[in-house]
């Protein structure tokens, strides 16, 4: 409407609104009422969401595009890892295996040195179980019951203490970082990953024409994974909150959803993300006039100048800002280099792990007590 009013103002014409003719539906080719109104001089120009794929009436001419809308697939954005998984994500699988092998090698070496080369060494360093216990105590930062006696075993023990200190420092630093910000899972980034994931796909019926004459491979993937949603709203909720559906949107509608309250989470983060290579087609929005209208060149010229000056995009940005203000979605963005509050919520996984350790220790203690009582009765 702003664009039309500006066009009429430049042409020194008066704006007069004509209601949409009954039964008019341009996306289904029902344009007879519109062309009839134009032939009777009841209307001269029509505007609305008329894309370039609607050019199917020889009695109508269309202006140049004043806005390009991309119709593309949107997938659920990446979700945060659970805080309890931070402990396992500190190191890669290979590094965890290296750590386990290091513990086994250190315990075995301690046992061999204490048993065969050091006759005056404590008995606790001459069995594999006791050596493994002491190696594990060092890496956890717990004092051992008895320090080694001989220089050779002390040297080996000192090397393991240095290794454990470095490992413990790196482990605690990365764990603290993950407890504050657990990070995000890798999202779907392209169409190949989307089809390979097997995620359900959904699109509105007005986009049926895009899959009637499209690429056979892509159409087969879409039809095979088509979601059976009761309604558009239900499917949208599945995509936003259950992360199991990908939806076909046009970029402008998606921006409006984000400007409102639909597509943002609790911390104003987007719930749906677009795929850069997921564009199905580009739709150019334009106005319609009667074929051969002498005012068409002038109208097109003014529209082109408005678009080249960036006024139309500026109007859209203003409208988005107004929607955000109306829905109170304007929020302050914290700088990435600022401080984060560290509270008990961030260290919940550590307490849960400690509780599991206590429970396991209690179970082991009870099993040991019962085992000793049963063994004493037999004796």
CB 199 within 8 A of CB 225: yes
Number of CB atoms found within 10 A of residue 75's CB? 25
What are the two backbone dihedrals, phi and then psi, of residue 233, each rounded to the nearest 5 degrees? -65, -40
pLDDT score recorded for residue 238: 84
CB 57 within 8 A of CB 29: yes
Q: For a pLDDT cut of 70, what percent of the chain falls above it?
A: 81
Strand (E) positions, 19-172?
45-46, 60-62, 67-76
Dist. CA 2–CA 287, nearest whole Å: 13
Which fold, 71-79+184-285+310-326?
D-Maltodextrin-Binding Protein; domain 2 (3.40.190)
Dist. CA 360–CA 142, nearest whole Å: 18
Q: Over 60: is that where the pLDDT of 104 sits?
A: yes
Q: Over 70: is that where the pLDDT of 343 sits?
A: no
Q: Where are the domains of the chain?
A: 71-79+184-285+310-326, 83-180, 347-379
pLDDT higher at 162 or 187: 162
The least confident of 13-17, 117-121, 154-158, 194-198 is: 117-121
The least confident of 49-58, 62-71, 187-196, 255-264 is: 49-58
pLDDT score recorded for residue 335: 45
Sheet containing 60-62: give its strands across. Answer: 45-46, 288-290, 60-62
- Average pLDDT over all residues of the chain: 79
The least confident of 10-14, 78-82, 198-202 is: 78-82
Mean pLDDT of 37-60: 74
Strand (E) positions, the chain?
45-46, 60-62, 67-76, 200-202, 245-250, 272-285, 288-290
CA angle 122, 123, 126 (to 5 degrees): 105
Q: Over 70: is that where the pLDDT of 246 sits?
A: yes
How does DSSP classify residue 30? B
CB 139 within 8 A of CB 106: no
Tell me: the pLDDT tens digits for 52-102? 555 567 788 888 888 888 888 888 887 777 766 666 777 788 888 888 899
Strand (E) positions, 97-197?
none
Q: Which of 269, 300, 262, 241 is nearest to 184 (CA)?
A: 269
Q: Give the pLDDT band (50/70/90) at residue 334.
A: very low
Would you call 184 helix, strand, or coil by DSSP? strand
Q: Over 80: is that where the pLDDT of 338 sits?
A: no
pLDDT score recorded for residue 332: 43
**Residue 239, C-beta contacts closer than 8 angstroms, at least 6 positions apart:** 74, 76, 202, 245, 246, 247, 271, 272
CB 282 within 8 A of CB 70: yes
Q: Which of 85, 92, 75, 332 is nearest to 184 (CA)?
A: 85
The radius of gyration computed from the CA coordinates of the chain, to the nearest angstrom, equals 35
Q: Over 60: is that where the pLDDT of 28 sits?
A: no
Question: pTM for the full model?
Answer: 0.61
């Amino acid at each position: 409407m702003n664009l039309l009013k500006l066009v009429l103002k430049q042409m020194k014409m008066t704006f007069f609104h004509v209601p949409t003719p009954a039964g008019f539906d341009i996306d289904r080719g029902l344009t007879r009422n519109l062309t009839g109104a134009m032939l009777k001089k009841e209307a001269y120009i029509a505007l609305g969401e008329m894309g370039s794929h609607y050019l199917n009436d020889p009695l109508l001419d269309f202006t140049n595009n004043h806005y390009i809308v991309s119709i593309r697939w949107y997938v659920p954005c990446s979700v945060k890892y659970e805080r309890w998984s931070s402990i396992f994500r500190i190191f890669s699988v290979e590094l965890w295996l290296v750590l386990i092998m290091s513990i086994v090698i250190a315990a075995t070496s301690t046992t061999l040195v204490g048993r065969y080369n050091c006759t005056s060494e404590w008995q606790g360093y001459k069995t594999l179980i006791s050596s493994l216990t002491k190696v594990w105590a060092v890496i956890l930062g717990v004092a051992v019951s008895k320090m080694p006696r001989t220089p050779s075993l002390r040297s080996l023990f000192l090397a393991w203490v240095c290794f454990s200190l470095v490992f413990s420092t790196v482990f605690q630093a990365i764990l603290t970082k993950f407890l504050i910000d657990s990070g995000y899972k890798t999202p779907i980034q392209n169409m190949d990953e989307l089809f390979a994931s097997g995620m359900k796909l959904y699109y509105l019926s007005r986009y049926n024409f895009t899959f009637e004459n499209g690429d056979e491979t892509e159409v087969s993937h879409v039809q095979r994974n088509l979601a059976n949603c009761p309604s558009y709203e239900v499917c949208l909720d599945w995509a936003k909150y259950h992360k199991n559906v990908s939806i076909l949107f046009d970029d402008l509608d998606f921006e409006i959803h984000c400007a409102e309250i639909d597509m943002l989470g609790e911390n104003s983060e987007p719930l749906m993300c677009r795929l850069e290579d997921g564009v199905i087609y580009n739709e150019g929005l334009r106005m319609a006039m009667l074929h051969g209208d002498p005012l068409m060149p002038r109208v097109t010229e003014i529209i082109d100048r408005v678009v080249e000056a960036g006024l139309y995009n500026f109007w859209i940005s203003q409208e988005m800002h107004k929607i955000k203000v109306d829905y109170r979605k304007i929020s302050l963005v914290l700088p990435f280099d600022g401080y984060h509050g560290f509270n008990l919520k961030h260290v919940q996984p550590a307490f849960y792990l400690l509780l599991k350790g206590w429970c396991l220790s209690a179970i082991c203690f009870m099993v040991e007590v019962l085992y000793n009582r049963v063994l004493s009765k037999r004796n």
